[in-house]
Structure 1
Amino acid sequence: MNVHTDSALRALDATTATLSAGEQERARATLERIVATTPSTPAAQPAAPTPARGSRRRLILLPMAALTLALAWMVIPALGGDNPAYASWTATPASVTSVELSAVAAACRDKLRGSSIDLDRARLVLSERRGDHVALLYRTEDPDMSGACLARNPRGSTDVDDVDDGVGGSTGPALKAPATGYTQGAISQFDGASITDGAVGAAVTGITIHAGTLTVNASVQNGRYVAWWPGPAFPSGYVQPSGKGGPEPILTYDLTLTDGTVIHNAQPTLPS
């Protein structure tokens, strides 16, 4: 660095400048104001929003017999939308192994405990697998109560989660279906799936349920049927109140009889 460069740089340094008495007084006053000023408080950062917890709600429609026998019945609106968890669903059910059944039954009974079905008396009458999900149906005949349970249980596994349940029925004994007919039992609608059950007559070997654009082959055994599907059982956007006169299901039923006859759009047996 030469003398000319050094001189030029020193000219830019404010600390080397010679100030007059007036300039020194103004500089001192400015410094005092800066030091005396209270530092501004940083703006408070908004708290991170608390994530909303997902909810699973269900709709329960008691069987038609309950309209006569039950003290009350209830409708709870369900959440809409397709649930990708049910992507493995199949229209035709498969059997559940004893190992899978044991694991799912334990989780379902825990879920149903404290509901209106008496688990000390209820029998497990039907089970079915559709993809990664297993449905179980618990029953008491008097009173006429169904406890349906739907749980995720990958095939061959004892892992069980995403357990949903629905309970419906009446205060009186179960209505018996005629030989070539059926009764419409409880209908439960969860977030993205629905399940229903009922009774069938001795001559009925199969039930096909049409739920909107979906066709479901129900499981039929020992005079009962059960079926679930990834979709609604009731019209979307309904606003009807709970109780009699509530929303009508979008379901239709075809019955297959022992002689091969198919009864299309069969109507359920109702209390006389």
Structure 2
Amino acid sequence: MKNSRNIDTLLRSLDAAGQSAAPDPRRSQNDLEQILRSPTSATGVAGPAEYKTTMSRPSRRRRRTIALGAVAFAATAGFLVVPALSGGDPAFATWTAAPGALTGAERDSAVSDCVRSSKGVGDGMFAGDVNAAEVAIAERRGAWTTVVLSGADGFEATCTTDSTAVWFKKGSFGSVGKPGNGREPVGREIKATQLGTGVIADNPLSMASGQVGPDVAAMTYTSSAGEKITATVSKGQFAFWLPGGELPNSSDQDVPVEVTYTDNTTETRHLSLDGATL
């Protein structure tokens, strides 16, 4: 926004009521240049929103992954989010940085919902993989549950759901498919298969998940606000997510995480959709 006092003065000087029938064009041009050069005000107009509401940008490597949600989409990125229906905790008010384990009937319900949702994606193209998959992760962060199913040839299905939503408003976000080349990570290898920012119920969230080798015991991510987010690491898979849009939707950027190995050593690694690097 330009300085209002300067603009008012200059615009009044251009007022046709105060000029001759044939105004001097050089004067008009000079006044216009002064307007364009005038300093911006300290109370400028707010810029674009920080968080995008579009889908993730495609990565360079095509991945056979389908998004979960009300509609299934063919995906070319390692991470896609389809908005779920509104639930009981749309603003992530109950979210926690440290996950809790799902147990008993609550776990059974979350797993069943994920299996059912995953089977229906892509006209049932992954139904056989879903049937043969095992539960690698079943965690809770406040009202939100996350289930990760894993199987042969790099198959994965992830579902995150607001467990407090009434049945006719339930929905899931996540993905299902075979995003890798089928080779399981070994040793200290880490392979991110979902990484980026999405939107659910008009609120941005960031998520990372993927596969780890048997030497990886734990993982944490420090948010831009300085909060440590504990990932769930189980049965060769990892997953964590947090409110906000700080994880990049691009394979050209990476995300630093602190990794602990089974020998109790730690180091900083960097997640990206093209793999993990030191």
Q: Normalized against structure 2, the TM-score is what?
A: 0.57
- How far residue 183 of structure 1 moved from its aligned partner, in angstroms, is 1.1
Q: Which blocks of at least 5 consecutive residues in structure 1 are unaligned? A: 1-55, 239-245
- How far residue 77 of structure 1 moved from its aligned partner, in angstroms, is 8.5
Q: Residues 196 and 175 (structure 1 numbering): CA distance in 2 closer, same or farther, change over 3 Å?
A: farther
- Who is 1:151 aligned against? 161
Residue 125 (structure 1) aligned to one of 128, 133, 136: 136
- Who is 1:221 aligned against? 234
- Who is 2:262 aligned against? 258
- How far residue 105 of structure 1 moved from its aligned partner, in angstroms, is 2.6
- How far residue 89 of structure 1 moved from its aligned partner, in angstroms, is 1.0
Contact 2:82–2:173 under 8 Å retained in 1: no
Q: Residues 200 and 172 (structure 1 numbering): CA distance in 2 closer, same or farther, change over 3 Å?
A: closer
Between Structure 1 and Structure 2, the one with more strand by share is 2
Identity %: 19
Provide Cα deviations, 1:2-60, integer angstroms capped at 9, x if missing partner.
xxxxxxxxxxxxxxxxxxxxxxxxxxxxxxxxxxxxxxxxxxxxxxxxxxxxxx97548
Provide Cα deviations, 1:108-147, integer angstroms capped at 9, x if missing partner.
33433332561332223211001111011123332x3322
Structure 2 CA distance, aligned partners of 1:61 and 1:160?
32
- Give the secondary structure class of the aligned counterpart of 1:205: strand
* Higher mean displacement: 121-130 or 170-179: 170-179
Structure 2 CA distance, aligned partners of 1:224 and 1:190?
23
Residue 174 in structure 1 maps to residue 208 in structure 2: no
Structure 2 CA distance, aligned partners of 1:221 and 1:76?
22
- Who is 1:185 aligned against? 193
- Give the secondary structure class of the aligned counterpart of 1:183: strand
Q: Which blocks of at least 5 consecutive residues in structure 2 are unaligned? A: 1-52, 66-74, 84-88
Residue 138 of structure 1 aligns to which amino acid in structure 2? L
Residue 207 in structure 1 maps to residue 219 in structure 2: yes
Contact 1:210–1:251 under 8 Å retained in 2: no
Q: Normalized against structure 1, the TM-score is what?
A: 0.58
- Give the secondary structure class of the aligned counterpart of 1:265: strand
Number of residue-to-residue matches in the alignment = 198
Provide Cα deviations, 1:59-111, integer angstroms capped at 9, x if missing partner.
4877x8xx2775971476889xxx85311111111011220122223333343
Question: Larger radius of gyration, structure 1 or 2?
Answer: 1
- Who is 1:27 aligned against? none
Contact 1:93–1:218 under 8 Å retained in 2: yes
Contact 1:88–1:132 under 8 Å retained in 2: yes
Contact 1:179–1:201 under 8 Å retained in 2: yes
- Give the secondary structure class of the aligned counterpart of 1:186: strand
Q: Residues 59 and 135 (structure 1 numbering): CA distance in 2 closer, same or farther, change over 3 Å?
A: farther
Residue 73 (structure 1) aligned to one of 72, 76, 88: 76
Residue 230 in structure 1 maps to residue 234 in structure 2: no
Contact 2:206–2:247 under 8 Å retained in 1: no
Q: Residues 267 and 85 (structure 1 numbering): CA distance in 2 closer, same or farther, change over 3 Å?
A: closer
- Give the secondary structure class of the aligned counterpart of 1:193: strand
Contact 1:184–1:199 under 8 Å retained in 2: yes
- Who is 1:195 aligned against? 207
**Paired residues for 1:91-130 under 5 Å:** 91-116=97-122, 118-122=126-130, 123=133, 124-130=135-141
Contact 1:59–1:190 under 8 Å retained in 2: no
Residue 267 of structure 2 aligns to which amino acid in structure 1? I
